[in-house]
Structure 1
Amino acid sequence: MSEYSQSSYAQTAPPAHSAGAPNHGAAPAAPSKKIAIFAIVGSVIALVGSMVNWVISDAEGATGGIKGIDGDGIITLIVALVAAILFIAAMATKKAALYLVGGVLGLVMAIVAVINMADPERLVVQKLKDEEGVSQQVAEKAAEQAAKLYDMTAGPGLYMVLVGALMALALGVLGFMKSRAAR
């Protein structure tokens, strides 16, 4: 029995649970600007990573490696730039679709990064075709021989692109969900 039932004057028991929203019935809050800012940071990390070494080798006398912009890094550079612009627009307008498209662009960047991480020789083939003007077969054979001689691994740029892309993807989806809930 409730402690209120034995009182000599009338009192009502407090409600067992709150039926109202945690913000006292107000409309759900729009996504925080922090979401868009961190998504922009992720896009910028991916953008910078596009210009850093994507393939490095252990060859003696080799300086640097092959930069992302020598191959698929151009794709991630452009996609990261567009994603950053979309997240800036999303921060200003709080439109759910802008967050979602930015997140999808993050997914595109992540896919490109993973493909290049799985096959570092791919970038060597692209660079040989572009700079040396050799055929696909010759470039693939040269890249295969180089892979046998030297240990070619994914460089820091690919990891930067992947981290930035995953940030853009996660925060784009989060911003989308929060924007939809705010309606």
Structure 2
Amino acid sequence: MISGKLKNIICSNRIKRHLRKEAFSSNRNSGKIGLIIDAENFQSKRGLTDLYKLIGIKKESFKIVFCGIPAEMADELNADILIPREVSISGKFKAEAIRNFLQEDFSFLICYFSEKNKIGSLLAAEANANVKIGNSPDEYEIYDVEVQTKGIDVFQEEVLKYIEILKKNN
């Protein structure tokens, strides 16, 4: 079995390599929003899974990926789960649901996970989105908008503000 430390190094290198490539660019508004969050302490982040209501989009246009398996997950959540063993040693995603997520074109990608979550960072780096919004610290400079807060409520408020501003300007 490959050690977690080695896999993190490989993921870090793959993130950097991916970010050096030409960035996804599209002025087309797909109306879809992606959300990548840690499964750890899910209950404190539960509000993020309802962002689609506050933004005013259909639930079908809001795609969620949990990094890890949440201890408790509501049945009504239609979310994909990314677990470390579903990422190959070369940093390729094995799960079909995650590969499908990467095929989506999102208007916005929202990320809320710890800096230790290299697999979440890899997924965010490879995802296609016009605007990527995430919490700090953004070690790899993945995000177009980095929200500097530790509080989930403030993060959510800031994300909503940025999305509203960016929607008006496009």
Q: Which has the higher helix share?
A: 1
| TM-score, normalised by the number of residues in structure 2 | 0.26
Comparing both chains, which one has the higher relative contact order based on Cα–Cα distances under 8 Å and sequence gaps of 6 or more? 1
| TM-score, normalised by the number of residues in structure 1 | 0.24
Q: Which has the higher strand share?
A: 2
User: Which structure would you say has the larger Rg?
Assistant: 1
